[in-house]
Every structure is written in C-alpha cells, then in structure tokens.
Amino acid sequence: MKASGPPPLHGAIRKAESDAVIALILLAAGQASRMGAGGPHKLLAEFDGVPLVRRSAMVALGTRASSVTIVTGHRHQEILAALEGLDLQYVYNPDYASGMAGSLVTGFKTDQAQRADGVLVMNADMPRITSGDLDALIKAFWDAKCDAVVRAAAHGRGGNPAVLPRSLYRSVLRLQGDVGARHLIETAGTPVIDVPIDERSLLDVDTPEAILAAGGVLRV
C-alpha cells in the first residue's frame, strides 16, 4: 500500500520555523468498547474510502511536528496494515486493556517524546480534525516559549488534542488506569492556553451510530 496524503515536513524546514521540537503521539491502542462486544473497530471504519486511523495519521504527518509516533494495542496487526507505507514511528502498549494512561505512558517513554520540548497528544478517532487545527496548537505552544499546556477548545471548554510541556513529563509517566491527562493539566499549576478550534473538528466517534452520522462506513 502506498502512502497517500500530505507528506511530512522534515528537519531543516521545521527548524526554520522554530528551534523547538514537538513530538506528536497518536493514540490508537484502545479496545473501542462502546462499539459493542465483538463489533467493528472504530479506527478501521472508512471515511471517503480511507480507514479512520490512516486518515488521522495522514493529518498528523501534515503538521509541523518533528515526529509522529502511533501507540497501538487492540487489534494491533490490523491497525498496522491500515497504516502501511506511512512515515510513522510505532510503539506497542501491551497493557492497552487497562485504559488510556498506559498508552500515554508508553508514548511518553519513546525517544521521540523524551527528546522533545513538548508532546502533542491526539486521539485517532477524530475524523474531521485537520493539520491546520493541530498546527494552531503547535504555534501557540511555540509562542508560549514551550512553557504552557496548549489545548484545543470549543465553547470555552478545553480538551483534546493538547500539547504538554517537558515540565509535565514525569507526572504523565506516573498516570495509571483509565484516565487521561485532564486532571493532571488542571492541577499541575502549569499555565494553560485554550486555542479555539471549530467544534466540528473536535468530533470524536465512539459508537457505530456516531460513525454513521459522521459519514463513515463500518468495517469489521
């Protein structure tokens, strides 16, 4: 399968924009439990003929991030097949059944994340988000001198995706169970910048009904 979509930007091009390094972590390890027992995998649903996980990876590759690492787990081999040919780093979370924290820890332990000034965390189940949306977060992080949390926000409420600075890495690595970084962000005392993003871009799809309503086609 050939890679399709916008090519990733590399080294010198990114350095011309900023000396800061942003690692992007794409979370694709979850069990998609709301799809129903034995049901189709939401990340393999197709939008315009492209599996959702591949579409999300292509969007990530089109940003100013210095690297894109995808965390896999549930139905690992099928996810890898859907991503064939793309210029990604891969890391497997063997503890994916325990919840999101394990995937965050797995991603933040990678060399790409540990060398970066900030990590942009993105869930892979967002069919309408764009590279431009993510670059707006990266630019805001650069403008904040890489010393703030930058979150996508709609109607005044921040959420995912988000860029986390190095000052929070150790705290992320201590997360456990089925929790993300929201509570950590809200209690760490680190400045938080909310970047308005079109509400439609922040749609995530967790159920068969949501996928169909968003124009997707379910695949087993």
Nearest to 211 by CA among 32, 80, 83: 32
Query: What 3 state SS string does 48-96 have?
Result: CCEEHHHHHHHHHHCCCCCEEEEEEECEHHHHHHHCCCCCCEEEECCCH
Neighbouring CB atoms inside 10 A of 29's CB total: 29
User: What is the DSSP annotation of 147-212?
Assistant: -SEEEEEETTEEEEEEEEEGGGHHHHTT--SS--SHHHHHHS---EEEEE--GGGG----SHHHHH
**Does the pLDDT value for residue 7 go beyond 90?**
no
Is residue 218 included in any domain, yes or no? Answer: no
Is residue 11 included in any domain, yes or no? Answer: no
Distance CA 146, CA 163 (A): 9
pLDDT of residue 14: 40
Is residue 65 included in any domain, yes or no? Answer: yes
The tokens for 206 are 């967790």
Adjacent-strand bridge partners of 165:
118
| Spatial contact of 96 and 102, defined as CB atoms under 8 Å apart | yes
Q: What angle do CA 176, 57, 48 make, to 5 degrees?
A: 125
| Spatial contact of 59 and 17, defined as CB atoms under 8 Å apart | no
- 139-177 per-position pLDDT tens digit: 999 999 999 999 999 887 888 999 999 999 999 999 988
Is residue 199 included in any domain, yes or no? Answer: yes
Is residue 61 included in any domain, yes or no? Answer: yes
Is residue 2 included in any domain, yes or no? Answer: no
Neighbouring CB atoms inside 10 A of 42's CB total: 25
- 94-113 per-position pLDDT tens digit: 999 888 899 999 999 999 99
Burial class (CB in 10 A: 0-12, 13-18, 19+), 183: exposed
**Does the pLDDT value for residue 195 go beyond 50?**
yes
**Does the pLDDT value for residue 8 go beyond 90?**
no
Give the residue-averaged pLDDT of 177-184: 85
Is residue 14 included in any domain, yes or no? Answer: no
**Structurally, how many domains does the chain consist of?**
1
Nearest to 173 by CA among 74, 68, 101: 101
Provide the domain limits for residue 141.
20-213
CATH code, domain carrying 137: 3.90.550.10
Is residue 5 included in any domain, yes or no? Answer: no
Report field, pTM of the whole predicted structure over 0.75: yes
